[in-house]
Amino acid sequence: MERRRLLQIAAASAGIGIFGVSGEPVRQLLELSLDHGFRSGEEWEISAADHLHALRTRPPAQVAADLIIDLLTVRRQMEVSSPAEVTELQRTLAVLSSIHANALTRLGDHGAAVRWWRTGRSAADASGDREVRLLVRSEEAGHGLYGQRAPETVMRLVDNAEQVAGGSSVDLLTTRAKALSLLGRHAEARETLDAVVELTEKGDRGDSLGFWKEDQIYFTQSWVHAGAGDEARAGTARENVLRLTGDYQYRTNIALHEALCTVVQGAIDEGVRRAATVMDPLPVAYRSNHIIETGRMLLRAIPLDQQDRPAVGEFREVLSTEVRPTG
C-alpha cells in the first residue's frame, strides 16, 4: 500500500520537477503516515500568506511549483471532509488558485493562468464567501493588464466584479485606472485615481487576506501619471511606493514607469537607456512577465517613425531575455 502511494505521489510530482533534492514525494508519504497531512482553517490561511510572501520575494517558477503541492493537498483533504469542511476548503482552493494564476501570469503562461482564474472563480462561488468571490475577480482583472487580455476586456471584468460587489472597491478602481491609461484615456484615468483616494478616505482598505496593500494606490498613480507624461506627480508616487514596499516587481516596474515618462515627454533615447539600466542587473529568473510587459508598454509609447532608433533596438533585445514556464 505504501509503495503504491509513493509511486502515485512521485508520478504527480515528477511533472512539476520536484522529485529531486527536496524529497517531496517521500515527505508526503511520511505526512500521510502521521496525520494525513490535513490542515486546519488557520493553517491554510498561514499557507496562503506564505505563498503571497513568496510571490513578492521569489522567482515565480519556484512559487508555482510550491503551490501545486498545496493544491494537491487541498484536493485530497476535500475528498474525505464533511460538507461544512468542504465549503471552507473551497474558500482555500479559491485563494490558492488565484495565487497560482498570478504566478503563471508572471511566467507568461497566459492560457494556463486564465484556466486557473476560472477554477478560482468556481471555487469562490461554491464557497459562498462574498469577499473571496470579489477577491478572485479583482485579481483576475488586475493581472489581465499584463499582456493577458485586452484593456477593454479587463474593463469588462471590472464591471462584472462590481456587480458581485454591489459597487466598486479600491482594488477594482486601481485596475480601471490602469486600463484607461493603456487605452490613452488619461483624463478618465486621473478621475478614477481621485475616486480611489475618496474610497480610501471612507475607510476602504481592500481585502482582509493580505492581497491588497496601500502601496498599490501609489503604484497605480505612478503608472497613470507616467503614461500621461506628468513627471512631478509620477515622481511623488514612486517615492511613496519605495517607502512602503519591498516587492521586487513593484520596485522594478516603478523604475520602468520613470523611463516611460521620459519617453512620453519626447526624450526617447534617454528613456530607453534608462529602462535598460533597470533591466540589465535583474537576474533572468526574476524577469517576470509583469516586468517585461511594463517594458513593452514603454516601447508602445514610442512613435512608429522612431521605432528604428538604435537605442530602441538595444532595449528590445534586453526585453527578449525573460523568465519562461518550466512545465
Predicted local confidence at residue 5, as pLDDT = 56
CA–CA distances in Å: residue 203 to residues 50, 134, 167, 170: 26, 18, 15, 10
- One DSSP character per residue, 255-293 reads HHHHHHHHHHTT-HHHHHHHHHHHHTTS-GGG--HHHHH
Domain formed by 213-327, architecture: Alpha Horseshoe (1.25)
- Residue showing cell 499582456: 147
Distance CA 134, CA 129 (A): 9
CA–CA distances in Å: residue 2 to residues 7, 14, 68, 180: 9, 18, 22, 56
Task: Look at the pTM and tell me if it is higher than 0.85.
Answer: yes
Residue 44, H or E segment: helix 41-57
The C-alpha angle 166, 171, 174, rounded to 5 degrees, equals 115
Predicted local confidence at residue 210, as pLDDT = 86
The count of other CB atoms within 10 Å of the CB of residue 196 is 23
Where are the domains positioned within the chain? 35-103, 213-327
Kindly give the residue spans of alpha helices, DSSP state H, lying in 107-150.
110-127, 130-143
The DSSP output letter for 40 is -
Tell me the mean pLDDT in the region 175-183: 98
Q: Rounded mean pLDDT of the chain?
A: 90
Q: What percent of the chain has pLDDT over 90?
A: 78
Predicted local confidence at residue 205, as pLDDT = 74
